[in-house]
A and B are shown apart, each in its own frame.
Chain A
């Protein structure tokens, strides 16, 4: 079975400093991996996705993630945090073999200090 582990429940950074949100996955197949962002009382917005093409994936709002098979990781980064980045971030894996259902990590709440 596939699973996702987000290593930090909360991450706090100062505005203008780099962001690193960590995610490790477990998969028996070649996974599809996603990062979603959820602002308070809002829906889920796709930031970026990995689907076995380039291992470095660029998303919206300056976010990037690198797929590292040897480390089974898919960490999310951004060079410079903005106040508007404060939200809940979910790392997600799709089984993709016979089912496309999404399996969510427990989420990381990003706090951005002025």
Chain B
């Protein structure tokens, strides 16, 4: 079965650079969630999109923005990168309309390293 795809899997950037992370949800899933997991930390919710509209917002810095496109893939744009942005970024998807149990399906994550 198709899973959530994230690209790239690894990314190395310098401070003050920008980065774009991509997430391709499971086919027919209408909702995407982004989470950030710092070193030794638990994942923290950043932002979510339902049917291409932002549905919820967590602890996402103003330097970050995200959107969901017509094909339901989502991109997380990160500008003016800081050392503290180094983390594992997870994307998860769900079909809100058909899900019976709120289970989100996670991608493998993108590991961002800021030097």
Contacts and interface: CB of A to CB of B under 8 A. Distances in A.
Contacts of B104: 94, 100, 102
B94 interface: yes
Contacts of A70: none
Nearest to B108: A43
Interface string A71-107: 0000000000000000000100010100111111111
Contacts, number: 56
Interface size class, chain A: 20 to 34
B109 A107 contact: no
A43 to B, nearest CB: 4
B102 A100 contact: yes
Interface of B: 31, 33, 35, 42-45, 48, 55-56, 58, 90, 92, 94, 96, 99-104, 106-109
